[in-house]
Amino acid sequence: MTQTAPIIPATATRHPHVLEDKGHDTIVRVGQADRIWSDFYHHALTARWSHFLYLSITFYVAINVVFALAYMVVGSQVSGARQGDFLDYFFFSVQTLSTVGYGVMAPVGRVANLLATTEVLGGMMINAVATGLVFARFSRPRARIMFSKRAVILKDNAVPRLDVRVANCRRSPILSADIEFSLARLIAQPDGHVTREFDSLPLRQSHIPVLRFACLPVHVIDESSPLHGVTLEMLKAEEAEIIVTITGTDEASGQSVFARTAYGFDRMLYDHHFVDIINTNPDGSITVDYTRFDELEKCSRP
Q: Is the pTM of this model over 0.75?
A: no
pLDDT tier, 49 (very low <50, low <70, confident <90, very high otherwise): confident
Using 50, 70 and 90 to split pLDDT, how confident is the model at 157? confident
Decide if pLDDT at 23 tops 60.
no
User: In the predicted model, is pLDDT for residue 276 greater than 80?
Assistant: yes
**Residues 165 and 240 sit within 8 Å (Cβ to Cβ):** no
Query: H/E element holding 42?
Result: helix 40-46
Across the chain, what does the average pLDDT equal?
Answer: 83
Question: Which pLDDT tens digit goes with each residue over 81-95?
Answer: 888 889 999 999 999
C-alpha dist (Å) from residue 168 to 69, 144, 257, 267: 53, 6, 11, 21
Residue 48: pLDDT above 70? yes
Model confidence at 223: pLDDT above 80? yes
pLDDT band for position 12 (cuts 50, 70, 90) = very low
pLDDT of residue 22: 47
